[in-house]
């Protein structure tokens, strides 16, 4: 393709350009087919060669290779120029080059160092030769430059660097119109042959220089276009180019060039002979005509300009691995005698399918991304693209867990208040029970929290009149022990409308062990009391206290925040690890079915790393705690994004710990238990005064972001517990008159009710917030900026798709082009939570509540300023992905 300055017919810049995705996919598949065809009588140099088919012996495959060479790599550079210019404008030179060196430079180095030895190893294995390290050492000693197909990445990296560091050069080259540009292009191709009479390659780049003018021209053309690209050409210019192609093609046939062998092809790749100059004209004109014609076909065809699902996502990975895949297939079928076209066709299919399959593994397995984001320039319409056919991870229902601690009015005056008008015969407040039941809580953590470090569970069992009252050190209070183990477990059976016990819980209990003043004997006794089935002391004590069947408590935490100086019994990481291992071993001997939770910190601390490295063979989950809050709205609502980084860091620590401890791949992966999270400022709601936060709409939106994070990171999440469930930094407040559902309650209810099943892939193109963050480091790790539309999406077994969107913007409604995969059956349900301003709070009148409505699913949807919106629809899209 040749450069030209153009003005394209304007298109909606927010529409996803499926034809470009699909054109790139087509070109990648064509590259694979091109390389497969070369050894079977086609043209071109390839790592594998066949003795059965002399080079150039198949006219069909030779023509196929020649036509491909004229346009397919030029088309790649054209697309690269177009997208690189947009990325450079969006990111700036420094960030742009950093990204390019990672995406192009790293694969280039890895491939050059390892891919060729891998192909040599394949050949040796086929020939039944012994493999040794000499394959690598001999290859590295002789290494003189880029190898294989990575010349493309190397050259593109050079082009991108020039565009970033010297932007005036591409801009100057792009000023010519079509025909003068072709004259320059063809002239450069001829001149290259003059200075390179042998047709040799640039060794360092592994590149034939005769094609360089076309690649430069194509990249510059792509970079010159401001609109969705279809390279323009006037009717006159097209006729001139077509005539040139016909004349040069006829000349080539007349000269008998179809009989040239690829290893003597230097006759047309170097020097100033008539064949060489004719080929120069033919290659440039034919390439431009073929490339533009096929690209226009992709743009205008209904089937070619529609979503092909996620195929395009793996194109680059398929391109990187195809040499190894194709050589393996060619070596394996080396002795298969077949017609050249038949063999090339069969192995092309194998190469394309195999390369995409390996590419899929490389992209998805190391780090399955639940959601991606692209920053858009000001003025563009944001886009949310939801693909319900791509299930990314199963969502554990336990991410909607709760937490009850003996702190403030959480227990006494919260869930338990004998004598209150709403209390039942057990003293349980029925208004609280009814409200919590709407949240469908799957698991509840108890009895702390910091409280547990001085809590002795036996103080809270047996006749109430015999239970001791003790000082409570964590929150500077007094603990009467009126409500203890049996009361909590019985209350859960009422909350879940079930009998409770082994295999019968609808709301699971999750107990934290006392690692402060508690002992191993005390911990073992508690487990025996709850779960013992035999004729043993503590199992019989449970029966004596009125519970015949075991309670069946599965989840047990090995202490709480033992790293903190505020914690009674604080330990360093090494001492805690030793203690946790001793406890874990003993507890598993008593009850192998327990799920043990390690005490973590923030997920990104040295404590987390050290305790995981030591304890991972003995635990099932790793807990982390984070609270966020700010009086500044944007800092407040964006702060929960630190949890995303915390989860990703913890997941990496878990991987390292598994590797270092040689954990068998058959052992289930340790998951993350985010068992304390919420919006909480201890300054405005001190813990020793009950921590009774009054939550604003801004806080509710922050909770929406928190829950979006958990949904997006479902791959790593085993549990999450909002701290806490009643009165104490809680969505639910009790009064003597009744209850108040705070602003955050609405968000929790919508997520718990609808955001279940599987996380599905979303891609958001939107605006960003670039101001200060809380904490400050968050701004530094958000490469694209903070997306002001925070999104997650799920799909259930019934095909219902749910999309949760937080519009962080305090002042602006946002109109979004919502791309919905699959047809919508029966319209879209809308559930919106917003208010007059971000500081509004709820009272008995519930100023912030859920507003329900419908939308036909067509056109654009407007997300109100400072709002949370949940959209739901029944999709007819086939659901695929792992369970």
pLDDT digits (tens, 9 = 90+) for 647-683: 999 999 999 999 999 999 889 999 999 999 999 999 9
Residue among 487, 676, 693, 749 flagged as catalytic: 676
405, 487, 528, 561: the active-site residue: 561
pLDDT of 575 over the 80 cut: yes
Taking only the tens place, the pLDDT of each residue in 799-826 is 899 999 999 999 999 999 988 766 566 7
Q: Which residues on neighbouring strands pair with residue 472, listed in sequence order?
A: 477
| pLDDT for the residue 261 | 38
Is it the case that residue 522 has pLDDT exceeding 50? Answer: yes
Is position 548 annotated as part of the catalytic site?
no
Query: What pLDDT, in 10s, does the model give residues 468-488?
Result: 999 999 999 999 999 999 999
Contact 77, 162 (CB under 8 A): no
- Which residue, 578, 581, 671, 573, is CA-closest to 617? 581
End-to-end CA, the chain: 46
Scored b (16 or more CB within 10 A) or e, 155-171 reads: bbbebbeebbeeeeebe
CB 415 within 8 A of CB 695: no
User: Region 698-722: what's the mean pLDDT?
Assistant: 97
DSSP characters for 172-235? HHTTS-HHHHHHHHHHHHHHHHHH-TT---BTTTTB-GGGHHHHHHHHHHHHH--SS------H
Asked if pLDDT for residue 630 goes beyond 90, the answer is yes
Average pLDDT, the chain: 85
Do 684 and 691 contact (CB within 8 A), yes or no? no
**Residue in the structure block whose two tokens are 């002042």:** 811
What angle in degrees, to the nearest 10, is found between the helix axes of 212-224 and 274-300? 30
- Cα-to-chain-centroid distance, residue 65: 38
Task: Quick: pLDDT tens for 88-126.
Answer: 776 678 877 887 888 888 888 887 888 778 777 777 776
Active site residue 610: no
The pLDDT assigned to 189 comes to 62
Dump pLDDT digits (tens) for 6-27: 323 333 433 457 788 888 899 9
* Cα atoms in the Cβ-side hemisphere of radius 13 Å centred on 549: 11
pLDDT of residue 220: 81
More confident of the two residues 547 and 283: 547
Helix (H, G, I), strand (E, B) or coil at 478: strand
Read off the pLDDT of residues 416-452 as tens digits, 9 standing for 90 and up.
999 999 999 999 999 999 999 999 999 999 999 999 9
Instruction: Give the pLDDT band of residue 234 (cuts 50, 70, 90).
Output: low
Q: Quick one: average pLDDT of 746-774? A: 92
**pLDDT over 80 (residue 492):** yes
> Which pLDDT does position 399 carry in this prediction?
98
pLDDT value of position 883: 40
Q: What pLDDT is attached to residue 174? A: 52
Residue 558 phi, psi (nearest 5): -85, 70
**pLDDT tens across 370-397, in order?**
566 667 677 788 889 888 878 889 999 9
pLDDT-based confidence at residue 76 (cuts at 50, 70, 90): confident
Give me the mean pLDDT over the 351-355 stretch: 91
Supply the pLDDT for residue 373: 64
- Domains in the chain, start-ordered, CATH in brackets? 18-366 (no CATH), 391-875 (3.20.20.80)
């Amino acid at each position: 393709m040749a450069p030209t300055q153009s003005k394209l017919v304007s298109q909606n810049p927010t529409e996803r350009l499926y034809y470009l995705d699909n054109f790139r996919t087509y070109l990648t598949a064509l590259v694979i087919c091109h390389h497969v065809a070369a050894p079977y009588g086609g043209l071109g140099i390839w790592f594998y060669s066949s003795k059965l088919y002399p080079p150039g012996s198949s006219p069909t495959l030779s023509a196929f290779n020649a036509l491909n060479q004229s346009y397919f790599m030029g088309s790649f550079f054209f697309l690269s120029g177009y997208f690189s210019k947009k990325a450079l404008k969006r990111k700036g030179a420094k960030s742009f080059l950093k990204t390019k060196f990672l995406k192009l430079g790293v694969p280039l180095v890895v491939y050059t160092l390892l891919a060729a030895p891998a192909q040599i190893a394949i050949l040796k294995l086929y020939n039944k030769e012994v493999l040794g390290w000499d394959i690598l050492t001999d290859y590295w000693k002789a290494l003189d430059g880029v190898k294989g197909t990575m010349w493309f990445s190397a050259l593109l990296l050079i082009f991108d660097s020039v565009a970033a560091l010297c932007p005036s050069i591409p801009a100057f080259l792009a000023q010519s119109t079509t025909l003068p540009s072709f004259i320059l292009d063809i002239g450069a191709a001829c001149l290259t042959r003059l200075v390179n009479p042998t047709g040799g390659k640039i060794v360092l780049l592994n590149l034939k220089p005769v094609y360089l003018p076309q690649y430069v021209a194509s990249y510059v053309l792509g970079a010159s276009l401001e609109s969705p690209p279809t390279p323009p050409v006037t009717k006159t210019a097209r006729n001139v180019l077509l005539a040139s192609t016909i004349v040069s093609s006829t000349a080539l046939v007349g000269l008998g060039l179809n009989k040239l062998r690829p290893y003597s092809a230097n006759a047309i790749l170097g020097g100033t002979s008539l064949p060489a100059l004719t080929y120069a004209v033919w290659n440039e004109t034919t390439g431009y005509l073929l490339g533009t014609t096929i690209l226009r076909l992709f743009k205008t065809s209904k089937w070619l300009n529609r979503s092909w699902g996620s195929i395009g996502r793996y194109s680059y990975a398929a391109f990187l691995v195809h040499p190894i895949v194709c050589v393996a297939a060619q070596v394996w079928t080396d002795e298969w005698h077949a017609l050249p076209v038949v063999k090339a066709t069969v192995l092309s299919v194998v190469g394309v399918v195999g390369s995409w399959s390996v590419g899929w593994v490389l992209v998805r397995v190391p780090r399955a991304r639940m959601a991606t984001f692209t920053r858009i320039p000001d003025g563009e319409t944001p886009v949310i693209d939801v693909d319900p056919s791509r299930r990314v991870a199963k969502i554990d229902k336990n991410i909607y867990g709760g937490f009850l601690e003996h702190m403030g009015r959480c227990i006494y005056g919260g869930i338990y208040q004998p004598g209150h008008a709403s209390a039942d015969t057990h003293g349980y407040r029925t208004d609280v029970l009814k409200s919590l039941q709407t949240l469908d809580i799957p698991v509840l953590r108890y009895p702390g929290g910091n409280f547990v470090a001085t809590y002795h569970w036996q103080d809270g069992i047996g006749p109430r009149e015999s239970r001791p009252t003790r000082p409570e050190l964590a929150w500077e209070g007094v603990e009467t022990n009126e409500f203890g183990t049996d009361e909590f477990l019985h209350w859960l059976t009422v909350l879940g409308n079930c009998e409770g016990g082994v295999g019968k819980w609808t709301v699971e209990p999750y107990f934290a062990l006392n690692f402060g003043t508690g002992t191993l004997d005390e911990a073992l006794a508690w487990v025996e009391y709850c779960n013992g089935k035999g004729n043993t002391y503590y199992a019989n004590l449970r029966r004596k206290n009125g519970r015949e069947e075991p309670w069946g408590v599965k989840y047990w935490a090995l202490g709480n925040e033992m790293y903190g100086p505020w914690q009674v019994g604080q330990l360093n990481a090494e001492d805690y690890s030793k203690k946790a291992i001793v406890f874990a071993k003993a507890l598993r001997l008593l009850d192998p079915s327990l799920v043990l939770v390690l005490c973590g910190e923030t997920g990104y601390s040295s404590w987390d790393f050290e305790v995981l490295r030591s304890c991972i063979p003995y635990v099932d989950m790793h807990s982390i705690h984070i609270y966020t809050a700010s009086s500044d709205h944007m800092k407040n609502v964006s702060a929960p994004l630190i949890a995303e980084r915390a989860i990703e860091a913890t997941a990496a620590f878990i991987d390292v710990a598994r590797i270092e401890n040689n954990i068998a791949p058959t052992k289930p992966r340790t998951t993350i238990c985010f068992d304390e999270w919420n919006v909480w400022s201890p300054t405005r709601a001190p813990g020793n005064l009950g921590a009774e936060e009054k939550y604003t709409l801004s806080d509710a939106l922050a909770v929406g972001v928190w829950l979006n994070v958990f949904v997006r990171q479902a791959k790593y999440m085993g549990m999450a517990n909002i701290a806490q469930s009643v009165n104490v930094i809680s969505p639910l407040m009790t009064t003597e008159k009744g209850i108040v559902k705070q602003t955050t309650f609405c968000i929790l209810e919508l997520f718990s009710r609808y955001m279940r099943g599987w996380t599905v892939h979303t891609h958001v193109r939107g605006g960003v917030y670039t101001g200060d963050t809380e904490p400050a480091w968050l701004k530094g790790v958000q490469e694209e900026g903070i997306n002001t539309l925070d999104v997650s999406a799920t799909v259930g077994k019934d095909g219902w798709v749910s999309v949760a969107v937080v519009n962080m913007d305090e002042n602006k409604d946002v109109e979004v082009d919502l791309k919905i995969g699959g047809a919508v059956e029966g319209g879209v349900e809308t559930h919106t939570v917003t208010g007059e301003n971000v500081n509004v709070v709820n009272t008995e009148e519930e100023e912030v509540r859920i507003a329900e409505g419908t939308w036909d699913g067509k056109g654009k949807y407007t997300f109100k300023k400072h709002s949370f919106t949940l959209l739901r629809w029944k999709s007819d899209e086939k659901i695929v992905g792992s369970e």
